[in-house]
Structure 1
Amino acid sequence: MQEITVDELKSRLDAGEHLNVIDVREPNEYAEYNIDAKLIPLGNIMSMQIDDLEPLKNEELIIHCRSGKRSMQACMMLETMGFTNVKNVVGGILAWQEKFGK
């Protein structure tokens, strides 16, 4: 599994790159604060409810959560399902907020 820092992610977003950013937190966490990533809770990934992701099997997927732990689990699970380019956001949304504010 590869990793990406919040600095790298922000600079790529700011540059206007089209990225597949996936938020694996729960809907209530997403409602509190999000960076416009696609919400697919970790539970959905663990139970293989990933129809929305299937077409992206060979594309870069950037996965984040609150702190980086759930996203790491999601990355590992997606890799076992054959996804070839998943990246975990180091530190998750907490690192993002610490660095860039709300």
Structure 2
Amino acid sequence: MNEQIKEITPQEVEEQLSNGKQLNIIDVRENDEVEQGMITVAKHIRMGDIPQRLNELDKGEEYIIVCRSGGRSHNTGVFMQEQGYNVINMVGGMLAWTGDIKTP
């Protein structure tokens, strides 16, 4: 079943951040991937930890889900959407990200 979720490009995310927009970004990559850098305002919750940590998230907010290339974030987004969350998948993932990053 191929669920549809909203999508956003890395360039659109970067543009919104540079315009001062407050974004809720969740990076669902594994720890070793995040060590190579993540979007500065992102929160790291590994994909496998999402079901146990949904209570940390507000269903009234919108979340941009990020992974390495866009596949895991899509799957995570579909799951979260089924749980009633408002999510957007960042297509292309961190492979396509050219903006600022932070390392933990």
TM-score normalised to structure 2 length: 0.84
In proportion to residue count, which structure has more helix? 1
In proportion to residue count, which structure has more strand? 2
For structure 2, which runs of at least 5 residues remain unmatched after alignment? none
Tell me the equivalent position of 1:41. Answer: 46
Q: In structure 1, what residue type is equivalent to 2:45? A: I
Task: Map residues 5-84 of structure 1 onto 2, 5 A cutoff.
Answer: 5-36=9-40, 37-45=42-50, 47-53=51-57, 56-83=58-85
Counting matched residue pairs gives 96
Identity of aligned residues (%): 44
Cα offsets for 1:7-26 (capped at 9, x unmatched): 11000011111110110001
Q: In structure 2, what residue type is equivalent to 1:25? A: R
For structure 1, which runs of at least 5 residues remain unmatched after alignment? none
Output the aligned Cα RMSD.
1.6
TM-score normalised to structure 1 length: 0.86
Q: In structure 2, what residue type is equivalent to 1:50? A: L
State the alpha-carbon separation in 1 of the partners of residues 60 and 76 from structure 2. 16
State the alpha-carbon separation in 1 of the partners of residues 16 and 92 from structure 2. 17
SS at match of 1:48: helix
Cα offsets for 1:7-57 (capped at 9, x unmatched): 110000111111101100011111111112100110012x4332221xx21
State the alpha-carbon separation in 1 of the partners of residues 84 and 100 from structure 2. 35
